[in-house]
Amino acid sequence: MASGDRTWFRVGQGAGAVYRIVAIDVRSRREGKDLRKVGFYDPMKNQTYLNVPLILYFLEKGAQPTGTVQNLLKKAEVFKELSSNQMKFN
């Protein structure tokens, strides 16, 4: 499996937007098929659900989170689970 990026897609309508956090293959289009859904973020309710074991798996395989997703992962302290040499992101 090729390494993937982590990104998010908007779900919902109008002001009720919820963002799905997914891992996608870097070779696919931005709106292409995702490899796995790894969480969601609801800014209106300030709720975040993250499948941490799955996120760690993709990060260890070389996935590069987007800036926004990286901020969510830092806030959730996901990076404390990784060794320091695995935290090099572009």
In tens, the pLDDT along 14-23 reads 677 888 888 8
Taking every pair of Cα atoms in the chain, the longest distance, rounded to a whole number of angstroms, is 41
Q: Which CATH number fits domain 7-88: 3.30.1320.10, 1.20.930.40, 2.40.100.10, 3.40.640.10?
A: 3.30.1320.10
pLDDT digits (tens, 9 = 90+) for 26-78: 777 666 666 788 999 888 888 999 999 999 998 888 888 888 899 999 998 88
Q: Is the pLDDT of residue 88 over 80?
A: no
Exposure of 49 by Cβ count < 10 A (0-12 exposed, 13-18 middle, 19+ buried)? exposed
Domain assignments of the chain as residue spans, ordered by start: 7-88
